[in-house]
Amino acid sequence: MVTDGPATGGAGPRLAELRTRLHVAPLPRPWGPDVPVLHVVEVTVVDSTGATGTGFSWTPTIGAGAVQSLLDHDVATAVVGGPVDPEVVWPALWAHLHEAGSGGLTTIAMAGLDLALWDLAGRRSGRSLVELLGPRRESVAVYGSGVNLHYPLEELVAQVERWVEAGFASVKIKVGGPDLGVDRERVAAVREVLGPDRGLMIDANQRWDLERATTAMAVLEEFAPAWIEEPLRADDLAGHAELRRRIATPVAMGENLHTVYRFRDALDLGACDVVEPNVVRVGGITPFRAVAALADERGVALHPHLLPEISGQLALTLARPCLVEEVEDASLTALGLLADPPPVVVQDGELRASGTPGLGLDFTGALAGAAGARG
């Protein structure tokens, strides 16, 4: 528990207000012709003492309006007047919202509130998120990542060269184009830049079916990928398990799994070697920690997906070291969404936290979208 006083009753602070604001952030390097912007729903909570906390929900292309509406109506109605401890609020709210779905829009919306409540707890106590959860290490390795399947080969190679120059010990690129020969050429070129000692991960972003994935990996395993990420539709756990039996490369998935139960199902089926929870898609820090505990219990590697300003802080508190993903020009900081310096610093391929109280996120109003603020 992270708040003063009991979870119920009048002794502790209560949640007095929840408000939202939609940000539409142009991507300096579009993720494709259909993904020129990302959507972030800023969530602010105010407790009965007047203290505030800020979190966010994140959805690149689809559903930002629905997420904001869910927060403004069903979430706010359920939580205003209640406790502010995120570990108390989360399970009750998830059960309340379950009729709208166990995951997806439901957990993405819940993440905005959960993150805001953790931020509130940190600000009220004067502690950073890392200090609240308990630091395990001072730094964590970062890998360079990009949504780059549409890049010409020369641009892809230049991106990888930037990552090497920045000191990243490993990188991740996209595969899954219509021509396997082109995929091979691109992976070969990247491996040549990296040399034998840097790690190379490849990500198909759900583009293959089982047979295509089997064929593709028979070709791409020549370049010693550390893992193949989301080779099949994320919902196809049985297919991932079968592919894992067929290939030598470790299988990574999890960015599109939304509950600890789906992660448990994936591990029970033998669907993956690596889990990659996205702190927003799973519903926030509270359920992320449950997924991390499950991974520890099963002895499975965990590497958080995207959002390094939060994922990096969480990585510093995990029982086992992991890698933090930084997509070029796509962090909250790079998108110009933060008014103050970010809560993490990446230098020479390592991430460290600044120690700012709470989550350390202060969103600027410059990029507020047409929907504006609500609350």
| Catalytic residue positions, numbered | 174, 305
Sign of CA dihedral 90, 92, 93, 97: positive
Sign of CA dihedral 151, 153, 158, 159: positive
H helix count then E strand count, the chain: 12, 14
First to last CA, the chain: 27
> Can you give the C-alpha Rg of the chain in angstroms?
20
DSSP-derived 3-state class of residue 280: coil
Q: What is the largest CA-CA distance in the chain?
A: 66
- Give CA–CA dist 234/302, Å, rounded: 17
296's enclosing H/E stretch is helix 285-298
In the Cβ-directed half-sphere of 370, how many Cα atoms lie within 13 Å? 1
Instruction: Return the closest-CA partner of residue 323 out of 348, 298, 306.
Output: 306
